[in-house]
C-alpha cells in the first residue's frame, strides 16, 4: 500500500486527469468519454475547448480500439494480458494532452511513421486537402475506419502530433501518440 | 413506405425519416465505432425513398459531434441526395450547427464544396 501516495503525487504532479492501462473495448471507450466529458463540464471549461478535447479524444481512443496489434498472450513480453493499451488524459496550464500507447507490429512502423511525418509537415490548408482527398477517395480500410482519424486529430489539435516507437522485441514495438489541444480558445 | 425512427444513444444520433410527414432529420452525436453498421439501414431507406420521392425533400442535419468514420457515411447520404437532385427532384440539405462551433461550420463548408446539391449552412 505504500505506493499509493506516490502514485497519487505523481499523477498530480503530471496533471493527469485520467489514466487507464488494460484491455480496450467499445464499452470502455464509451465510459471514458462519458467520464471525461462530465469532468470537463463540471469544471466549467470553455465550450469550444471542451468540444475540441472531446473530438480529439474520440478519435484517439477509437484509433487505438481499431488499430492496436494485440500481443499474443504467450508472448514473453506480454505476461499479463492480451490487447492492452494505455490511455491518458491530462491538463496543463496551456494545453490538454491526450496520450495513447499500444503495441504495433514492427512491420507497420515505416508506414505509420511516414504518415505521421507527412501530417506533421502539412500546413492547415494541406491537412484540409488531404482530409477531403481521403474522404472522397478510396473508401474504408479493412477495419472499417476511414483512415481519416489522425488527420482529423491534427486538424482539431492545431499542433504537431508527438509520437514514439519503443522496441519491445523482434516483432513488436510500443507506439505512443500524443495530441494536444490548446486551452486558449481562438478568437 | 415504412418510416424509420431511431432513438438516440450516447454514441448515435436521433434519426427520423418520415415520408408521410416529409420529415428527414439526423440530430445529436454520431461517434459509433461501427459507423457503417449504424448507417446501413439509413442509406437503404434513402435509396428506397429516392425511387419515388416527395415533390420536395428538405433534409436536416444537426450534429453536435461526429467521428471520422461517420463523416464518410454522411458523405454517402449526401451523395444519394445529390443524385436525387440531379435526377430533377427538389432536394435541399440543411446543415444546422451551434453558431460558435467553428469546427462544425467548417465541416459543413467542406461538404458544401464537395457537393452539387443545394446545401445551406444554418447557424443556430
Whole-number pLDDT of residue B100:
87
Residues whose CB is less than 8 angstroms from the CB of residue B30 and which lie 6 or more positions away in sequence, other chains included: B11, B12, B13, B38, B63, B65, B66, B67, B70, B74
Whole-number pLDDT of residue A181:
95
A22 φ/ψ sector (left φ>0, alpha ψ -120 to 50, else beta): left
Q: Say how many domains are in chain B.
A: 1
The pLDDT of B65-91, averaged and rounded, is 94
Biggest CA-to-CA distance, chain B: 38
Q: Name the residue among B60, B11, B27, B38 with its Cα closest to residue A54.
A: B11
The pLDDT of B103-120, averaged and rounded, is 93
Residue of B nearest to A29 (CA): B33
Q: Is residue B118 part of a domain?
A: no
Residues whose CB is less than 8 angstroms from the CB of residue A20 and which lie 6 or more positions away in sequence, other chains included: A28, A32, A86, A87, A88
Show residues of chain B in contact with A47, CB under 8 Å. 100
Mean pLDDT of all residues belonging to chain B: 94
Contact A148/B at CB under 8 A = yes
The model's pLDDT over B14-68, given as tens digits with 9 standing for 90+, comes to 999 999 999 999 999 999 989 999 999 999 999 999 999 999 999 999 999 999 9
Show residues of chain A in contact with B103, CB under 8 Å. 51-52, 55, 156
Residue B107's pLDDT band (boundaries 50, 70, 90)? very high
CB-nearest to A152 from B68, B113, B114 is B68
The full set of domains in chain A, from first to last, is: 3-182 (3.30.565.10)
Please report, in tens digits, the pLDDT of each residue of chain A (187 residues total). 788 999 899 888 888 988 999 888 888 989 999 999 888 888 888 888 999 999 999 999 998 888 777 666 566 555 444 578 999 999 999 999 999 999 888 999 998 999 999 999 999 999 998 888 888 875 555 444 546 899 999 999 999 999 999 998 888 899 999 999 999 866 5
Range of the domain at B74: 4-55+64-90
The values of phi and psi at residue B108, to 5°, are -60, -45
Between CA B69 and CA B80 the distance in angstroms is 18
Q: How far is A58 from chain B (nearest CA, A)?
A: 7
Whole-number pLDDT of residue A75:
60
Tell me if A149 and B68 make a contact (CB, 8 A cut-off). Answer: yes
Whole-number pLDDT of residue B124:
94
CB-nearest to A48 from B33, B68, B100 is B100
Q: How far is A9 from chain B (nearest CA, A)?
A: 33
Residue of A nearest to B107 (CA): A128
Whole-number pLDDT of residue A144:
46
Contact A14/B at CB under 8 A = no
Whole-number pLDDT of residue B41:
95
Whole-number pLDDT of residue A48:
87
For B:69-108, CB contacts with A below 8 A are: 69, 71-72, 75, 100-103
Show residues of chain B in contact with A62, CB under 8 Å. 31, 33, 67, 69
Q: Is residue B123 part of a domain?
A: no
Q: Is residue B115 part of a domain?
A: no
Which H helix or E strand runs over A89?
strand A84-91
Q: Name the residue among B50, B47, B38, B41 with its Cα closest to residue B10.
A: B38
Q: Which three cell numbers stand for residue B82?
A: 445529390
Whole-number pLDDT of residue B16:
97
- Provide the 3-class DSSP secondary structure of residue B67: coil
CB-nearest to B71 from A128, A148, A156 is A148
Amino acid at each position: 500500500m505504500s505506493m499509493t501516495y506516490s502514485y497519487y503525487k505523481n499523477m498530480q504532479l503530471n496533471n493527469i486527469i485520467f489514466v487507464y492501462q488494460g484491455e480496450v473495448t467499445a464499452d470502455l471507450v464509451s465510459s471514458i468519454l462519458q467520464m471525461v466529458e462530465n469532468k470537463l463540464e463540471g469544471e466549467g471549461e470553455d465550450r469550444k475547448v471542451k468540444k475540441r478535447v472531446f473530438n480529439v479524444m474520440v478519435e484517439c481512443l477509437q484509433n487505438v480500439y481499431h488499430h492496436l496489434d494485440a500481443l499474443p498472450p504467450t508472448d514473453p513480453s506480454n505476461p499479463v494480458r492480451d490487447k492492452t493499451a494505455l490511455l491518458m488524459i491530462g491538463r496543463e496550464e496551456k494545453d490538454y494532452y491526450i496520450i495513447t500507447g499500444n503495441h504495433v507490429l514492427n512491420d507497420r512502423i515505416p508506414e505509420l511513421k511516414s504518415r505521421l511525418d507527412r501530417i506533421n509537415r502539412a500546413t492547415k490548408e494541406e491537412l484540409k486537402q488531404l482530409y477531403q482527398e481521403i474522404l472522397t477517395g478510396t473508401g474504408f480500410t479493412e477495419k472499417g475506419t476511414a483512415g481519416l482519424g489522425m488527420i482529423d486529430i491534427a486538424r482539431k489539435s492545431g499542433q504537431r502530433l508527438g509520437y514514439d516507437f519503443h522496441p519491445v522485441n523482434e516483432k513488436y514495438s510500443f507506439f505512443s501518440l500524443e495530441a494536444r489541444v490548446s486551452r486558449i480558445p481562438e478568437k | 413506405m415504412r418510416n424509420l425512427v431511431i432513438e438516440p444513444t450516447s454514441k448515435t444520433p436521433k434519426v427520423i425519416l418520415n415520408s408521410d410527414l416529409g420529415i428527414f432529420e439526423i440530430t445529436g452525436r454520431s461517434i459509433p465505432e461501427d459507423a457503417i453498421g449504424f448507417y446501413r439501414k439509413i442509406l437503404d431507406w434513402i435509396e428506397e425513398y429516392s425511387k419515388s420521392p416527395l415533390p420536395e425533400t428538405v433534409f436536416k442535419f444537426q450534429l453536435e459531434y461526429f467521428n471520422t468514420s461517420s463523416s464518410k457515411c454522411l458523405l454517402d447520404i449526401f451523395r444519394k441526395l445529390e443524385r436525387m437532385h440531379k435526377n430533377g427532384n427538389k432536394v435541399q440539405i440543411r446543415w444546422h450547427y451551434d453558431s460558435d462551433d467553428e469546427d462544425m461550420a467548417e465541416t459543413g463548408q467542406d461538404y458544401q464544396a464537395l457537393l452539387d446539391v443545394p446545401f445551406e449552412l444554418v447557424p443556430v
